[in-house]
Amino acid sequence: MRKNIVAGNWKMNTTLQEGIQLANDVNEALKGVDAKCDVVICVPFTHLASVNAVIDPEKLGLGAENCADHLKGAYTGEVSAPMVASTGAKYVILGHSERRQYYGETSETLKEKVKLALAEGLTPIFCIGEVLEERENGTYNDVVKAQIEEALFDLSADDFKKIVLAYEPVWAIGTGKTATDEQAQDMHAHIRSTIAGKYGKEVADEISILYGGSCKPGNAKGLFAQPDIDGGLIGGAALDAESFMGIVTAF
């Protein structure tokens, strides 16, 4: 059976000291809870090693928010998949819409990042999702299908099974405007059938597909109750231990 996962994406928030405090708070809060899902925090590169030192890896997974599309060498300012793995991190968010939108990431570069991450044993949390215009003009199913096909469909079935997908409609990110349970479920079912078309139903049924975009304690229960929604990728609400835990315990 596929896993339920709630993952925080801290984005470019918190100083190192604030980040260690927040990780500590989440780690402490998890001690009193029998979580029905895997819990992960994806934090800035600068925080990875220090956060890894304060969390219980049995209860809380750690991830980065990106990695480079090259293994090593003269790429000033980049952080490679082996560097991420060497901090103790087990996950890496790839293809977040903010990276596609502001840093020009394409399916071609993402394809490389996914392969490098997998080669290090990292679990990519691969983000897909349409912008508002594509939602409104009705092309959203095709857009998301193309994002998956272009970046991921040259993977073997065994490698594909190691990936977690996150559907994040761009119009719902940080806007307070979440997709309805039905809109999200429809897209998740579409994503699963796209995977089944390439790799078969068995593989499709094993892939965890998370929802992201203004997910909060108040709407998480409804979203997570949908048959094809296996958890959430949480932005703003992950920056406060109490609200993050409110989402974790929605399962």
Number of residues that bind ligand 13P (CB under 6 A): 14
Does 236 sit near ligand 13P (CB under 6 A)? yes
β-pairing, 38-42 vs 91-94, is unpaired
Q: Which of 4, 9, 14, 27 binds ligand 13P (CB under 6 A)?
A: 9
150, two tokens = 């272009």
Distance of alpha carbon 223 from alpha carbon 43, whole angstroms: 24
Whether residue 188 lies in the annotated active site: no
**Residues of span 68-87 touching ligand 13P by CB under 6 A:** none
Catalytic residue selected from 65, 96, 105, 134? 96
The nearest distance, CB 158 to ligand 13P, in angstroms, is 27
Q: Would you say 19 or 236 has its CB closer to ligand 13P?
A: 236
Residue type at 226 in one-letter notation: Q
Residue of 234, 245, 248, 250 that binds ligand 13P (CB under 6 A): 234
Q: Across-strand partners of 128?
A: 167
Query: Is 212 an interacting residue with respect to ligand 13P (CB under 6 A)?
Result: yes
Toward ligand 13P, which CB reaches closer, 23 or 199? 23
Three-class SS of residue 32? Answer: coil
Pairing label, strands 209-212, 5-9: unpaired
Sole residue written with tokens 């994503």: 191
Based on the shown chain and the rule CB under 6 A, indicate whether residue 63 belongs to the binding site for ligand 13P. Answer: no
Site for ligand 13P in 169-208 (CB under 6 A): 173-174
CB of 214 to ligand 13P, least distance (A): 4
Name the minimum Å distance from CB 83 to ligand 13P: 21
In terms of CB distance, is 71 or 132 closer to ligand 13P? 132
Establish if 213 lies at the interface with ligand 13P (CB under 6 A). Answer: yes
Look at residues 230, 238, 235, 237 and name the one whose alpha carbon lies nearest to residue 211.
Answer: 230
Q: Which residue in the block uniquely carries the two structure tokens 């079935």?
A: 157
235 interacts with ligand 13P by CB under 6 A: yes
61: tokens are: 């997974």
Q: How far apart are CA 117 and CA 49, in angstroms?
A: 17
> Is residue 168 close enough to count as binding ligand 13P by CB under 6 A?
yes
Stretch binding ligand 13P (CB under 6 A), from 44-52, 107-115, 145-153, 212-220: 212-220
**91 in Cβ contact with 60 (< 8 Å):** no
What number of residues does the chain have?
251
Cα torsion 125, 131, 132, 138: sign: negative
Q: 89 with 63: CB under 8 angstroms?
A: yes
- Check 98, 120, 168, 188 and give the catalytic one: 168
Per-residue DSSP letter, 189: H
Q: Say whether 96 is catalytic.
A: yes
Q: Is 44 among the residues that bind ligand 13P (CB under 6 A)?
A: no
Residues found near ligand 13P in the complex (CB under 6 A): 9, 96, 168, 173-174, 212-215, 233-237
Q: Which residues are designated catalytic?
A: 96, 168
